[in-house]
Chain A
Amino acid sequence: MKLTRRNLLSTVMTLALFSPPAFADTADGDALNKMTWDQVVEMAKGGTVNWFMWGGADNINKYVSETVGGVLMDQYGITLNRVGLTDTVEAVNIVLGEKESGVMDAGSVDMIWINGENFRTMKQGGLAYCGYTDLLPNNALINWDNPAIANDFGVPVDGCEVPWSKAQFAFGHDSARTPNPPKSIGELIDWVKANPGQFTYPAAPDFNGAVFVRHVFYYAAGGADKLLGDFDQARFDEVAAKTWAILNEMEPYLWREGQTYPNSITQLNELFANGEVALNFNYEPSQFGVAVAAGTYPETTRTYGLSGGTIGNTNYTIIPFNSPNKAAALVLQNVLLSGEMQYAKADPAVWGASPAIEISRTSPQVQAQFAAIVLPPSVVSAEELGKNALPELQGGWISAIEQGWIAHVAQK
Chain B
Amino acid sequence: MHRDPLALRSFRVLTGAILIVWLVLPLVPLAIWSFARGWRFPDLLPREWSLKAWTYALSDTSGVLGSLGLTIFISVGATALSILVGVPAGRALGLYKFRGKQVVELMILAPVIVPGIAVALGIHSVFISLGLTNTVAGVMLVHLVPTLPYMVLVMAGIFANYDPAFEQQARSLGASPLQTLWHVTLPAILPGIIVGGLFAFLVSWSQYILTLLIGGGRVVTLPLLLFNFASSGRNDITGAIGMIYILPGILILLLTAKHLSGQNGAVGGFGKP
Q: What is A's interface to B at a CB cutoff of 8 Å?
A: 1, 3, 7-8, 11-12, 15-16, 18-19, 50, 52, 54-58, 61-62, 65-66, 81, 83-87, 90, 93-94, 96-98, 100-101, 103, 108-109, 264-267, 269-270, 273-276, 294-298
Contacts and interface: CB of A to CB of B under 8 A. Distances in A.
A7 B56 CA distance: 21
A7 B73 CA distance: 11
Interface string B37-58: 1101100001010101000100
Nearest to A62: B61
Most buried by A among B216, B217, B218, B234: B217
Given A15-B70, A86-B208, A94-B216, 15 more contacts: A1-B65, A18-B134, A50-B218, A61-B62, A62-B56, A62-B61, A66-B61, A84-B228, A90-B209, A94-B213, A97-B121, A97-B124, A109-B216, A264-B233, A275-B41
A274 B231 CA distance: 18
B225 to A, nearest CB: 6
A295 B218 contact: no
B175 interface: no
B128 interface: yes
B256 interface: no
Nearest to B238: A56
B69 A1 contact: yes
A206 to B, nearest CB: 12
A85 B70 CA distance: 19
A86 B209 CA distance: 10
B69 A295 contact: no
Interface residues of B, number: 49
A196 B13 CA distance: 49
Contacts of B209: 90
Nearest to A91: B217
Contact of B125 (A50, A100, A264): A100
Contacts of A19: 134-135, 218
Nearest to B232: A56
A296 B125 contact: no
Contact of A93 (B41, B56, B121, B233): B121
A386 B46 CA distance: 37
Contacts of A54: 228, 232
A50, A101, A109: which has the most chain B beta carbons within 10 Å?
A: A101
Contacts of B195: none
A58 B134 contact: no
B36 interface: yes
B237 A58 contact: yes
A222 B128 CA distance: 51
Contact of A86 (B133, B217, B227): B227
B89 interface: no
Given A266-B233, A269-B233, A274-B41, A93 B213 contact: yes
28 contacts: A11-B70, A12-B70, A12-B73, A15-B70, A19-B218, A50-B216, A52-B217, A54-B232, A57-B234, A58-B61, A58-B237, A66-B61, A81-B217, A86-B232, A90-B209, A90-B212, A97-B213, A98-B128, A101-B128, A108-B218, A264-B233, A269-B233, A274-B41, A275-B41, A276-B41, A294-B52, A294-B236, A295-B46
Contact of B128 (A3, A8, A50, A103): A103
A97 B213 CA distance: 9
B199 interface: no
A301 to B, nearest CB: 11
A29 to B, nearest CB: 20
A57 B62 CA distance: 11
Contacts of B172: none
Contacts of A15: 70, 136, 218-219
B32 interface: no
B220 interface: yes
B128 A58 contact: no
Contacts of B61: 58, 61-62, 65-66
B243 interface: no
A109 B217 contact: yes
B41 A86 contact: no
Contact of A108 (B46, B69, B134): B134
Given A108-B216, A266-B231, A266-B233, A296 B134 contact: no
A18 B218 contact: yes
A371 B62 CA distance: 32
A55 B228 contact: yes
Contacts of B162: none
Nearest to B212: A90
Interface in B120-148: 121, 124-125, 128-129, 133-136
Contacts of B133: 108
Given A62-B61, A101-B129, A294-B38, A11 B66 contact: yes
Contacts of A52: 217
A8 B216 CA distance: 20
A86 B40 contact: no
Given A19-B135, A294-B236, A85 B228 contact: yes
Interface string B58-79: 0011100110111011000000
A280 B232 CA distance: 16
A50 B38 contact: no
A7 B67 CA distance: 11
A94 B124 contact: yes
A56 to B, nearest CB: 3
A83 B134 CA distance: 13
B8 to A, nearest CB: 42
Given A15-B219, A50-B218, A273-B40, A86 B125 contact: no
A11 B64 CA distance: 12
